[in-house]
Amino acid sequence: MSKLHIPFLITPLLCFLVLLPLPFKVISQDANTEKTILLNLKQQLGNPPSIQSWNSSSLPCTWTGVTCGDDGSVTELHLGLRYIHLGANNFTGNIPPQIANLTGLRTLFLFQNQFKGTFPKEISKLSNLEELGLAFNNFVPSSIPVEFGQLKKLRLFVDETREFDW
């Protein structure tokens, strides 16, 4: 399993990219600006092998996971994330239901933030999820959604009071 390690302190842009549904729309820039932005993103993601084709000597429209419009500008990114570790960042609010769009996700650690509301039942749509950490947030009520039973590959689940190994 490939793991993508995200630095402890996340830039707001990277958080924005991770929590939006993928594919997402990219605001059009000139070609050199788009290339620079995407190469910086690749570096922030730790130069993962899945986007090795992203380099300064080729056009973004030829890169893996990049879709361009008729005018040659970048319109979508398909990153295929498998591992997200956003623990201990003091994020607030609710986990967006669009998290269900990250269908290739195998590990999701969102512990030690300030998320509120209920456990997001949309997580149950992540059929490839193997590890889930939601501990030390402000979920109310703290009962686990019955929909989590659909996570057939889940082998580790951690919340404030329980740790389950399958």
Contact, 26 vs 16, CB < 8 A?
A: no
**Crossing angle of the two packed helices 31-44 and 12-19, in degrees rounded to 10:** 90
Give the pLDDT score at 163. 53
Rg (CA), the chain: 17
Give the pLDDT score at 58. 94
Q: Where are the domains of the chain?
A: 23-77, 83-165
Contacts of residue 82, Cβ cutoff 8 Å, sequence gap at least 6: 1, 2, 3, 4, 104, 105, 106, 107, 128
C-alpha of 10 from chain center: 12
Using 70 as the pLDDT threshold, list the residues of the chain that sit under it.
Answer: 1-29, 142, 160-166
Give the pLDDT score at 17. 43
Q: How far is Cα 27 from Cα 23, in angstroms, rounded to an integer?
A: 13
Give me the CATH code for the 83-165 domain, please.
Answer: 3.80.10.10
